[in-house]
């Protein structure tokens, strides 16, 4: 038998055929294997290296309202952080310049469920995200603040915004930070604490007439003292009316009523007699009473007087200083000082005569109007005796 040798060209064709058949015959195993390797590499290249961290952990309960919420990013930068309560209200916060952390700008509300959605990108611009949900603590002890003036009221130019708390505050900075005062037109407003249960807000000088003031009380969840949390979250607005500043001269026994810079009336008055002198200083009208009872026992004067029907009375101090109608003073008005420290204006019993000086002044006064007393033999009234912080310098007020 003759055996013919296979030429190199034919052998190459056969080898090519075998290789081709071998590749196809492994089926799609070898081809798919190669394809899977490429897909896997592509998938890995698309996965972000950034890692987002959220504290507290998902599902956490009884979370502290301050200091517990932390959002961070490793191997990347935070690009978006959205924190919402159950009502969909977003919590303000700020991403740091390096993108490593997000910090809430305020505390959390108590007994509230929050959701967190955070996104970070790595150096290649690939995103990673994290979602979480947690619920804050329910306080066993709470505090509230009683404030003045009332929401929606129109007040005089001397009216501060004052809050008195029912519990002594030992974390004043946290409480103060949760109260925002906004004005239109804009003016610098500063706060001052009187003791640990009262804080007042005012500008350097009397309010400009027409100023709109809005106060946001974001006290819900603020730890005012250890384990005692605020429960108020509300907005209060008031409007400043015309300017009225009345100046009482205790030596001349007169009161000059100045409205929007012009004297509109000069009224004869009587102030505190020797030993009972009226305070000097700037005093703000805080209460208006068409008729009230005045009893010396309530202000340390024993049974020296008890008048059950004092007309047209307006409070100037916590300690009991009023400017009021007086129907028993005879010829004292404009002539001599005969009161127990109050400022008296001529009136009639029952206050029914609308033409008397007391009736006129009552009808033309607002809560927040200023009464300034000068030339009395007494000291200047203390800033915390009523809403009379105007007797404190701006530097001391801010300090």
Burial class, 237, CB count within 10 angstroms (exposed 0-12 / middle 13-18 / buried 19+)? middle
Instruction: Please state which of the four CATH numbers 3.40.50.970, 3.40.50.800, 2.40.30.10, 2.60.40.3710 is assigned to the domain occupying 141-240.
Output: 2.60.40.3710
User: What pLDDT, on a 0 to 100 scale, did the predictor assign at position 303?
Assistant: 74
Domain ranges of the chain: 51-135, 141-240, 244-393
Task: Give the model confidence (pLDDT) of 214-252 as tens digits.
Answer: 999 999 999 999 999 999 999 999 999 999 999 999 999
Whether 107 is catalytic is no
User: What pLDDT, on a 0 to 100 scale, did the predictor assign at position 45?
Assistant: 57
Task: Give the model confidence (pLDDT) of 8-52 as tens digits.
Answer: 443 343 333 333 333 333 343 334 444 444 454 444 458 999 999
Provide the whole-model pTM: 0.84
Residues in the chain with pLDDT < 50?
1-38, 40-44
Task: Give the model confidence (pLDDT) of 249-284 as tens digits.
Answer: 999 999 999 999 999 999 999 999 999 999 999 999
CATH number, span 51-135: 2.60.40.3780
244-393, CATH topology level: L,D-transpeptidase catalytic domain-like (2.40.440)
Whether 192 is catalytic is no
User: What pLDDT, on a 0 to 100 scale, did the predictor assign at position 39?
Assistant: 52
Topology match between the domains 51-135 and 141-240:
yes
How many residues are present in the chain? Answer: 399
From 107, 253, 324, 340, the catalytic residue: 324
């Amino acid at each position: 038998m003759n055996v013919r040798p296979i030429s190199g060209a034919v052998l190459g064709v056969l080898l090519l055929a075998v290789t081709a058949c071998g590749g196809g015959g492994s089926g799609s195993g070898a081809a798919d294997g190669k394809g899977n390797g490429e897909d896997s590499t592509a998938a890995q290249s698309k996965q972000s290296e950034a890692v987002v961290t959220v504290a507290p952990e998902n599902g956490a309960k009884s979370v502290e309202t301050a200091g517990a919420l932390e959002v961070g990013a490793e191997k990347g930068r935070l690009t978006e952080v959205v924190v919402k309560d159950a009502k969909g209200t977003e919590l303000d916060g700020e991403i740091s310049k390096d993108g490593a952390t997000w910090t809430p700008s305020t505390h959390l509300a108590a007994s509230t469920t929050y959701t967190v959605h955070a996104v970070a990108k790595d150096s290649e611009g690939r995103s990673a995200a994290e979602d979480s949900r947690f619920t804050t603590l329910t306080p066993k002890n709470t505090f509230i603040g009683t404030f003045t003036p009332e929401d929606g009221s129109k007040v005089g130019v001397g009216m501060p915004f004052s809050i008195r708390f029912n519990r002594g505050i030992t974390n004043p900075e946290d409480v103060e930070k949760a109260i925002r005062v906004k004005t239109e037109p804009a003016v610098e407003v500063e706060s001052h604490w009187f003791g640990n249960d009262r804080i007042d807000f005012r500008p350097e000088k009397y309010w400009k007439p027409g100023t709109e003031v809005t106060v946001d009380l974001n006290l819900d969840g603020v730890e005012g003292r250890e384990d005692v949390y605020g429960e108020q979250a509300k907005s209060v607005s008031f409007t400043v009316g015309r300017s009225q500043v009345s100046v009482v001269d205790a030596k001349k026994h007169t009161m000059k009523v100045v409205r929007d810079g012009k004297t509109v009336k000069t009224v004869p008055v009587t102030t505190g007699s020797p030993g009972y002198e009226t305070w000097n200083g700037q005093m703000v009208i805080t209460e208006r009473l068409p008729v009230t009872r005045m009893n010396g026992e309530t202000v340390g004067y024993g049974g020296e007087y008890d008048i059950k029907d004092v007309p047209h009375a307006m409070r100037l101090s916590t300690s009991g200083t009023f400017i009021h109608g007086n129907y028993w003073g005879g010829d004292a008005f404009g002539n001599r000082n005969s009161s127990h420290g109050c400022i008296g204006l001529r009136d009639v019993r029952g206050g029914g005569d609308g033409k008397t000086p007391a009736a006129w002044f009552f009808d033309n006064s607002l809560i927040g109007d200023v009464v300034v007393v000068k030339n009395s033999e007494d000291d200047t009234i203390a800033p915390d005796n009523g809403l009379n912080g105007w007797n404190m310098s701006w530097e001391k007020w801010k300090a």
